[in-house]
Amino acid sequence: MTAPQATKTAARKRPAPKIRENLPAPNTPEGQLFHYTPYEASPWTPFSGRTLTDMIARREIDYVFNGRDNYLTGGQIVALVEAYTVRPFNKAAQHAA
């Protein structure tokens, strides 16, 4: 007698995130308060949309919650980029202090 064969279930594929067109840049006046989804914000950050979604879920970054969805404002995107910007080391300035 042989053991029954295990069956593979089809992996559920998530639908591709919807990204709106003609979004204002986060550093413009109209983009400062515009609400971007994590996938819409990813081109302006050093992170992918999935990574931004995970960072929001772990409460590592500031975000806006409207009761159903998570968003990032243009100001939050600019602050996130500045937080992860590496400044050059100036050896002369350190010795002068």
Give pLDDT tens digits along the chain (97 positions): 777 777 777 667 778 788 889 999 999 999 999 999 999 999 999 999 999 999 999 999 999 999 999 999 999 999 999 999 998 888 776 665 5
Does residue 57 form part of some domain? Answer: yes
pLDDT for the residue 80: 96
Whether 69 maps to a domain, the answer reads yes
**pLDDT in the model for residue 9:** 72
Instruction: Answer whether residue 22 is part of any domain.
Output: no
Q: Distance between CA atoms of 53 and 38, rounded to whole angstroms?
A: 6
CA distance 61 to 58: 8
C-alpha 14, offset from chain centre: 18
Q: Is residue 19 part of a domain?
A: no
Please tell me the number of Cα atoms within 13 Å of 75 on its side-chain side.
7
pLDDT given at position 94: 62
Residue 28 lies in a domain: no
Residue 2 within a domain: no
Question: Structurally, how many domains does the chain consist of?
Answer: 1
Whether residue 27 lies inside any domain: the answer is no
Q: Is residue 61 part of a domain?
A: yes
Q: Are 73 and 64 in contact (CB under 8 A)?
A: yes
Residue 67 structural domain: 36-85
| Spatial contact of 49 and 42, defined as CB atoms under 8 Å apart | yes
Q: What is the largest CA-CA distance in the chain?
A: 83
